[in-house]
Copies of this chain bind each other. A is one copy, B any other.
Amino acid sequence: MTIGDAAEASGLPVKTIRYYEEIGLIHPGRCANGYREFSSADIHKLTFVARSRSLGFTIEECRTLLSLYEDRSRASADVRSLASGHLDQIDLKIVELQAMRRTLVERCRGDDRPDCPIIDRLAEGREEHTA
């Protein structure tokens, strides 16, 4: 896969992917012509990072998240406690998003109109957005 394909697959801009290689987040191979060559593992990593970044994790956090993602042996207890900490962070973010959602919805509910699309949408699945 070329970098363009990787960009489409991961949802990240080409520029960003090159930047991620530069800072050592990913290590795509190279073809004879100098083009970067992305494996499906690289794509998975990029997708994972894209998601993490859009959810407010820093690059350094992404780096450790990736190490968890990659590390299949998990020899040390450190790694596991790290993962646990990250899960706490993820759970907190979920709670905060739900709180934001409520805040916005309550603001919407503030007036008397019966035709608020947000309230309508809420009626479909009230706070039960658990996938």
Task: Point out residues on A near B: beta carbons under 8 Å.
Answer: 48, 51-56, 65, 68-69, 71-74, 80-81, 83-84, 86-87, 90-91, 93-101, 103-105, 107-108, 110-111, 116-118, 121, 127-131
Contacts and interface: CB of A to CB of B under 8 A. Distances in A.
As for how many copies of this chain the complex holds, the number is 2
Contacts of A71: 107
B95 A131 contact: yes
A97 B129 contact: no
A72 B110 CA distance: 7
A95 to B, nearest CB: 5
Contacts of A117: 80-81, 84
A93 B94 CA distance: 8
Contacts of A53: 56
Nearest to A113: B74
B73 A87 contact: no
A121 B115 CA distance: 42
A108 B104 CA distance: 36
Nearest to A108: B83
B72 A103 contact: no
